[in-house]
Chain A
Amino acid sequence: MTRFHHVFSVLCRLCALLPGAVLLFLVGFLLQQSRGRLDLQLLFGDTPPLDALIHFAPVWDGIWPACFGTFCVVALAGIVAVPLGILCGIHLSEFARGRFRTMLSFCVDLLAGMPSILMGLFGFALILFLRHTLLPDAGTCLLLSGFCMGLLVLPYMVNATYSSLSGLPHDIRLLGPSLGLNRMQTIRHILLPSAGRGILSGLVLSLGRAAEDTAVIMLTGAVANAGMPRSLLDKYEALPFYIYTTAAEYQTPEELKAGFGAALVLLILTTGLFLAAHLLHNAMERRWRQG
């Protein structure tokens, strides 16, 4: 092995270790900074946890409403982005041709590069428009945040679906037609399951982005101390917003510790969502493989 190859392989190994090292450092840092505040009181304050979880009792000093709000935003964003993104990706890969495909692909890339604050402004402008036209009582709310967040992460789903489908080998593309399957059967029963892992990566990326983004929710419905949202049209709390406001306005070291604790909870929540996505994918794949 030449010296260059040796240096190159060591460099690659170091770079491969870097993400793990950064994650470990981050978790360690958050644990250290939030030491003493990582308890049920951080989540539920003085409210008994079971009352908060089962009877939706109000939680005043804990981040449980923010956890619930974040979960709702992520779920709503998923409801918007996953079906739309997969369908759009299928269209781009399997049906769109020539200049139309180039144009559509360009629009998706443009949307992917859009700063999230612009999407927040779009949501805000949409509410203003609705107030002046169809819905005079419309206001920023959980539903609007979920919708705008869905639009923000839509390009990840589109690109993941498109690139995983178009990257499938030609052999597997010919298999369906050669057996007499029609186009829809080929896509549904052969191509989509074969591209499942790539689509899952897009889903994980989308969920992560939807859970952490603050700019969109700031302008579309997240507020401090809103409590649990009573409906989709209510204001709500969210973890990223809580972390942002705590970091900017904390009065005591205890509050800052709670902010770090909330960051760790957000990390755990995101990891939980990733795990759920993996389990869902594995279950679907098992069903496909074994019938």
Chain B
Amino acid sequence: MTPPVSINNLTVSFDGTPVLENVTFKTRPGELTVIVGRSGSGKSTLLRAVNRLNECFPGCSTTGEVQLALHDGQLDVYSATTCPEHLRARAGMVFQSPNILPVSIARNMLLPQKLVRNVTGRSAEEKMRHMLERVGLLEEVHDRLGAPAATLSGGQQQRLCLARALALEPEILLLDEPTASVDYRSARRIEELLLSLKNELPMLVVSHSLPQTQRLADRVLLIRKGRLVGEWHRGQANAEADFEKMLSTTF
């Protein structure tokens, strides 16, 4: 089976200083992969290397290979012919803190659909409602879709970001500590959603939380000082003990 994400000898530097060095791994279909590591270890850089978002930072240089298995075949992310915008439209991303547009809830959902997918009118609205329902937000906001998104709570905003990313029909989802800035209940709702999505959408999740990693991960990648220093899989022998052992050095 083709791995959804395949990374080979990936090195990312900023102004000549390496932040990630020779990272190599593959994910498997139907598995949720969680990247863990201490602050500043390079987890977010690794995630952003998958959709070439690091290129938005000055002084970034990337070497190595990232391959994504998309619906129409393999995509070499760093090939000269790969358009970063098309890539990012297919690799949705949700950030650590809710990154909403300072516009209404509905406009947050509809504007990207219009600009990226050229979907407008009734189809865009149907998609918006469907995705808001999927993330469990429609019931809470159905009567105030025209209200500013900033009036939502942190957890609701993060679910809105998730719905916005899903409405663009991504083929892979990248989540950078998606529950870091939300309360416990919102975090659990987001986790449930991610678990419900994992069979239909490959996901790479950065997490800082040991219990969350335990609940979500089928595969864990441990990053330390820019290097991949450990890998764990739920199906391996002594999985529980190995998990404790690996993460005890991390958190």
Query: Interface code B65-95, partner A: CB below 8 Å = 1, 0 otherwise?
Result: 0000000000000000000111111101101
Q: Please determine whether B116 and A291 come into contact, CB atoms closer than 8 angstroms.
A: no
* Contacts beyond the supplied A179-B164, A180-B112, A291-B104: 14 A-B pairs with Cβ under 8 Å: A174-B53, A174-B56, A174-B99, A177-B85, A178-B95, A179-B112, A180-B85, A180-B86, A180-B89, A181-B85, A194-B102, A289-B102, A289-B148, A290-B104
Contact A171/B53 with A179-B116, A290-B107 known, Cβ cut-off 8 Å: no
- Chain B CB within 8 A of A175 CB: yes
Q: How far is the CA of A189 from the CA of B101 in the complex (A)?
A: 10
- Chain A CB within 8 A of B146 CB: yes
Residue of B85, B92, B97 with most chain A CB atoms under a 10 A cut-off: B85
A-B contact pairs, 25 of them (CB 8 A): A171-B95, A171-B97, A171-B99, A173-B56, A174-B53, A175-B101, A177-B53, A177-B56, A178-B88, A179-B88, A179-B89, A179-B164, A179-B165, A179-B168, A180-B85, A180-B87, A181-B112, A182-B85, A189-B111, A189-B115, A194-B102, A290-B103, A291-B103, A291-B107, A291-B110
Q: Which chain A residues lie closer than 8 Å to B95 at the CB level?
A: 171, 174, 178
User: Distance in Å from the Cβ of B150 to the closest Cβ of chain A?
Assistant: 10
Query: Interface code A84-104, partner B: CB below 8 Å = 1, 0 otherwise?
Result: 000000000000010000000
Number of A-B residue pairs at CB separation under 8 A: 67
Q: How far is the CA of A175 from the CA of B101 in the complex (A)?
A: 8
- Chain A CB within 8 A of B157 CB: no
Q: How far is the CA of A173 from the CA of B107 in the complex (A)?
A: 18
- Chain A CB within 8 A of B221 CB: no
Q: How far is the CA of A180 from the CA of B86 in the complex (A)?
A: 6
> What is the interface residue range for chain A against chain B?
20 to 34
Q: How far is the CA of A175 from the CA of B53 in the complex (A)?
A: 10
Q: How far is the CA of A179 from the CA of B89 in the complex (A)?
A: 6
Of all chain B residues, which has the CB nearest A188? B115
- Chain B CB within 8 A of A172 CB: yes
Q: Which chain A residues lie closer than 8 Å to B93 at the CB level?
A: 178
- Chain A CB within 8 A of B51 CB: yes
